[in-house]
Chains A and B, each alone.
Chain A
Amino acid sequence: MVHRRWLSWWAVTALTMLILGPWATVASSQSSQAHAHASALTLVTTQFQPITEFADFQSILASSPAPTKAVYLDAGTLTTQLTAQEQTHNVKISVIAGLHGDFPPFVAQGFLQDLTPLLKSLKSRAFPASIVKLSQYGSKTKHYYIPWMQATYVMAINKKALKYLPKGASINSLTYDQLIAWGKAMMKGTGSPKIGLPAGPTGLLARFVQGYLLPSYTHANVTQFKSAAAAKMWQKVKDLWAVTNPQSASYNFMQDPLQSGEVWVAWDHVARLINAATAQPNNFILVPAPIGPKGRGYLIVLGGMAIPKGAPDVKAAEKAITFLTTPYAQINTLDKLAFFPATGVKIPKVLPAGIRLEANAVSAQAQSKVSVPSLLPIGLGGQGGAYSKIYTDTFNRIVLNGDNIQSVLNDEGSQLQGILTQTGAACWLPDPPSHGPCHVK
C-alpha cells in the first residue's frame, strides 16, 4: 500500500507543480518586466548582427534622449515574434529598425503605425523624396517608416591583384568581360581562383543578380528575366564562376575571405566589406561594381524605422527615431558602421580611412554616366523572400548544377510571374512602368 500511496502522491505533486508553476512565475516575471519597461524602450534591429558592430550601434544609441535598449533579431525571428505579439495584443517592441525589405510582411498584415505626422515634424531633415516614396509601399497617404540609413554594394580589391589587371582595364570602369579576364589571369598567376562572391546561405548573391547583373545586361530586371539577353548574361556568369573561388558557395560576408587572402577581388554590401578596408586601408581599394553592355546596374540599400501598432511607448519611440535622424547620429552611423545618411546632412571631409575608400567608390558609382539604378522591389507584400529565392535558385541551377540555361529561365520565370500576378505588383525601376502586375516577357 505504501507503494501505491507514494505513487499517487508523487503524481499529484508533479501535476500541481505543472499547473501552478507557470502562474507562480507570472507574478514574479511581470513585476520584473514592469521594472524593465519603465526604464527603457525596446528597439529591435535586423542590422548590425556582428557583435562588434552591434556594440558600435549601442554606443550611438547611448546618447538618445529616450533611453533605448537595442536587440538584434534576424528578419525571420522578428516576423515570428512580432506576429505572435500582435496576435496576442501584447506588443513588447517599440521601434523596429530594419531594411526596406524587412517591412513588407508587417505592412501587409497591418502591424505598422502610419508615421506621416512624425515624418512631417521631421521636415528639416530633408529626406530625399525618392526614399520617402518608398516608405509608402504603394499606399496613397501612409508612410510606414522614417528613413534611417543607406548603403550600396561595391567591389573590394586587394592591391596584390592589381598586377594581374588586364591591359587597358581601369578599376573604376571595369567591365564584366574584363573582370572575367582578370580572374583568369589571377588564377593562372597564383594557382587558385581569387574572385569571390557572397553565394552562401545568408550571402547577398540574389541582389547581385537582381540589381547588378540583369540591369547591366538587359537594362531591366523582371521583364527581361527569360530573354535572350538574360540567357547570354548567364553564360557570362558561368564564365565568371569558372574563375571564382568555389568556396564562394558558402561565403556570407566577403570581408573574412578578403582579409585571409582566400580571395582578392570580391563584390558585396559595403557593410560586409568594410572590416577589410578599415583593418588594412593600405592593402585594399574599394571600387564601383563592373559595367555590362547596357551600363552599370546598381542597387541602393535603404534602412527605415517603424513603430508597431500597440507599441508600449509610442512617445519615447518617436523620440528615439527623431534622435537617430539627427546629424550627430547619421554621421556617427557612417563613421562607425559604414551606412550613409538617409537625410540631407552634409558628409564631413574628414573620415576614417576605410570609410573614405567607401565614400569614393559610392560617389564614383552614382555619378557615372552609364549608371542604371535599381529600386528595391515594391508591392511584393510578404513574398520578398520567395522573390529572392527565385534568383538564388536560378543561379544555383544554372551555374552550380550546370542545367540548361533557357529551360531554367522559363521554369523560374513562370514562378516569378506567379508571385507578380498573385501580389499584383507593378513594375519598378529599372523595368519600364506597367499598368497592373508586371509581366515577365
Chain B
Amino acid sequence: MSAAQVRSRPKKGSPRVHPLIYVAAIAITIFMLMPLWLIFIAAFSTQADVYSFPKSFVPVHFSTDTMQFFLNSPGVLPAARRSLTVGIGTLILALAIGTPAGYALARFRFPGSNLITLVILTTRSFPVLVLSIPLAVSFLTWGLYDTQQGVSLVHTAMALPTTVLITSAVFFGVPADLEEAALTLGCTKVGAFRRVALPMALPGLAAAALLTFLLSWNEVFAATILTLLNRTLPAQILNSLDGAPLTYQFAGGFMLVVPSMVFIFLIRRYLVSSWGAVTK
C-alpha cells in the first residue's frame, strides 16, 4: 500500500488506513496515557506500596484513604466552585475581547499589524511572578484583591495573547472567498460573518475556549498572589503538595486532573462532530 493511498478513501464503509498508522496511533496513546495511569494507581495505593521498589504497575492494595482526605478536607468544594467560576469567567471575557482581535489580524492587512501582534505577545513573555507586586498593589487599590473577579481578570490578561493568536489562525483557516461569495449572494458583512465565517470557525473557537479555561484552571502563581482566603483549587492544593507524603502528592495531582479531563471530554464531542462536518 503506497503512502499516497493512506489518504484516499473508498466511498462507502470504513476508510482503508495503513496498519502502521494504527501502530503509531496506539504507541502515541500509550505514551500519553501511561503517566496518567501511574498517577491513578499511585493515588489509590497505600503509602507502603507507593514507597516500595520495584514498584507494581497495577494497584496491589486498593485504597481510597488519601483521596478521601482530599475530598473531606475543609474548603475543597468551595475552592473547586471558585475555580470553575473563575475559569468560566475567564473563558467568556477572553473570547469576547479576543475573538474580534483575532478576526482583525486574520482578515485585514493594515499598517502596524505586526507591531500590535508583537506587543500582544510581549505581555505573555514576561514571567507573571515578577509582575506580582505591581499587580497586587493595583488590585488592593481597586478592591479586586482576594476576589474571583480579580483572578478572572488576570487570567484573562494571561490568556488573551493565546486566544488572539489562535482565533486569528482559525479565521485564517476559514476561506475568505466563502464570505465573499455570501456577500455577492446578498448577505451583509455581518451576516456573512455570522452565517459563514462563524460556523466554520466554531471548532477552532471551541478549542480556543478550552485552552483558555484550562489555563485558568491550572494557573497557580497569579492566583496565589492575588488571593488570600478565597483560593482557587490549584492555588489551595498544588502549593501544599511539596513535602507532603507521596500518596498525597499523587492524589492531589490526580484530583486536579480529573475535572479537566471531564471538561475536555465534553468539548471533544463538540470538537469532533464539527470536525466531521468540515472534513466530509
Contacts and interface: CB of A to CB of B under 8 A. Distances in A.
Nearest to B104: A7
Interface string B146-168: 11011001000000000000000
A403 interface: no
Contacts of A256: 51, 245-246
A310 to B, nearest CB: 12
A291 B47 CA distance: 34
Interface in A1-32: 2-3, 6, 10, 14, 17-18, 21-22, 25-26, 28-30, 32
B97 interface: yes
Nearest to A2: B188
Given A10-B100, A33-B146, A80-B225, A50 B243 contact: yes
A25 B147 contact: yes
Interface string A83-101: 1110110101100000000
Interface residues of A, number: 54
Given A25-B150, A80-B132, A84-B136, A279 B47 contact: yes
A385 interface: no
Given A69-B229, A71-B229, A50 B140 contact: no
Closest 4 CB pairs of A and B: A84-B136, A25-B149, A50-B244, A29-B147
A93 B231 CA distance: 15
Interface string A237-259: 00000000000000011011001
A88 B140 contact: yes
Given A22-B153, A93-B228, 19 more contacts: A22-B143, A22-B149, A29-B149, A30-B143, A33-B146, A49-B240, A50-B241, A51-B70, A51-B241, A58-B74, A72-B239, A80-B132, A81-B136, A83-B136, A84-B133, A92-B228, A202-B242, A253-B242, A272-B243
13 contacts: A25-B149, A29-B144, A29-B149, A42-B228, A49-B240, A50-B242, A53-B244, A58-B74, A69-B229, A87-B137, A90-B141, A259-B47, A261-B51
A228 interface: no
A92 B239 contact: no
B195 interface: no
Contact of A14 (B74, B97, B142): B97
Contacts of A33: 146-147
Interface in B115-132: 132
Contact of A6 (B132, B143, B190, B225): B190
Nearest to B192: A3
Interface residues of B, number: 45
A256 B225 CA distance: 28
Contacts of B136: 80-81, 83-85
Contacts of B237: 51
B243 A14 contact: no
Contact of B73 (A21, A55, A71): A55
Given A33-B146, A92-B145, A252 B242 contact: yes
B252 interface: yes
Nearest to A48: B240
Contact of A22 (B140, B142, B245): B142
Contacts of A49: 239-240, 242-243
B33 interface: no
Nearest to B238: A51
A275 interface: yes
A87 B138 CA distance: 10
A411 interface: no
A21 B240 contact: no
A54 interface: yes
B21 interface: no
A289 B143 CA distance: 50
Contact of B243 (A55, A85, A87, A253): A253
Contacts of A83: 133, 136
Contacts of B142: 22, 26
A74 interface: yes
Contacts of A22: 142-144, 149, 153
A42 B145 CA distance: 15
Contacts of A14: 96-97
Nearest to A260: B51
Nearest to A40: B229
A52 interface: yes
Contacts of B245: 50, 52, 255-256, 259, 275, 279
B31 interface: no
Nearest to A24: B149
A405 interface: no
Q: Determine which residue in A2, A28, A29 has the highest number of CB atoms from chain B within 10 A of its CB, and name it.
A: A29
B7 interface: no
Contacts of B189: 2-3
Interface string B212-228: 00000000000011001
A36 interface: yes
Contacts of A259: 47, 51, 245-246
Given A21-B149, A26-B142, A29-B144, A51 B73 contact: yes
A353 interface: no
B57 interface: no
A77 interface: yes
Interface in B65-90: 69-70, 73-74
Interface in A299-339: none
Interface string A256-291: 100111000000000010010001000000000000
A60 B194 CA distance: 59
A81 B137 CA distance: 8
B248 A51 contact: yes
Contacts of A25: 143-144, 147, 149-150
A9 to B, nearest CB: 11
Given A49-B242, A256-B245, A81 B225 contact: yes
Contact of B53 (A53, A88, A255, A260): A260
Given A14-B96, A85-B140, A51 B252 contact: yes
Given A54-B240, A58-B74, A77 B229 contact: no
Interface in A97-151: none
